C-alpha cells in the first residue's frame, strides 16, 4: 500500500522539478517519485560498497542488498574506484590453498 510523504523544498527546486515534469510529460509527483527512488538506490549502493570496502560484507552480499547481479556490482566497484579489501593474509591463505 502506498504511503504519502510530504516535504518542503525551496522555490527554485520546485521550479526546476516543474520544468522537468513539463519536459518529460509527467506530473510533479511522478518526477519526485523517480528522483527519490534513484537517490535511495544510489545511497544503498554507495553505503553497501563502503561496507564492502571496510570488509564488513562480500560482493555477493552487496548484490543481494541492492538487487543487482554480481557483475553489476563489479562494474560499480570499477566505476567508483572502490578499494578491494584483500590483505596480505588473504593472499597467504590463497597461496597455501594452491
Cell of residue 7, nine digits: 516535504
Residue 4 lies in a domain: no
Tell me the average pLDDT across 4-20: 95
Residue 59, in any domain of the structure: yes
Dist CA 59 CA 57 (whole Å) = 7
**Inside any domain, residue 20:** yes
91 falls within a domain: yes
In contact, 49 and 62? CB cutoff 8 Å? yes
Question: Is the per-residue pLDDT at 85 higher than 90?
Answer: no
Whole-structure pTM value = 0.78
What is the predicted pLDDT for the residue at 79? 93
Does residue 3 sit within a domain?
no
**Percent of the chain, pLDDT > 90?**
78
In a domain, 2, yes or no: no
Number of domains in the chain: 1
Residue 93, pLDDT above cutoff 90 = no
Task: Give residue 96's pLDDT.
Answer: 82
pLDDT (0 to 100) of residue 24 = 97
pLDDT in tens, 32-75: 999 999 999 999 999 999 999 998 998 999 999 999 999 999 99
Query: What is the residue range of 26's domain?
Result: 11-97
- Mean of the pLDDT values across residues 20-34? 96
> Is residue 5, in this structure, part of any structural domain at all?
no
For the chain, what is the radius of gyration of the CA atoms?
Answer: 20
Amino acid at each position: 500500500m502506498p504511503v504519502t510523504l510530504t516535504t518542503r523544498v525551496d522555490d527554485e527546486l520546485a521550479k526546476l522539478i516543474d520544468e522537468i515534469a513539463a519536459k518529460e510529460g509527467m506530473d510533479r509527483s511522478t518526477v519526485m517519485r523517480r528522483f527519490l527512488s534513484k537517490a535511495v538506490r544510489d545511497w544503498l549502493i554507495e553505503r553497501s560498497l563502503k561496507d564492502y570496502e571496510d570488509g564488513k560484507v562480500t560482493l555477493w552480499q552487496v548484490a543481494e542488498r541492492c538487487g543487482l547481479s554480481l557483475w553489476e556490482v563489479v562494474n560499480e566497484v570499477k566505476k567508483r574506484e572502490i578499494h578491494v579489501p584483500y590483505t596480505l593474509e588473504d593472499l597467504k591463505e590463497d597461496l597455501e590453498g594452491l
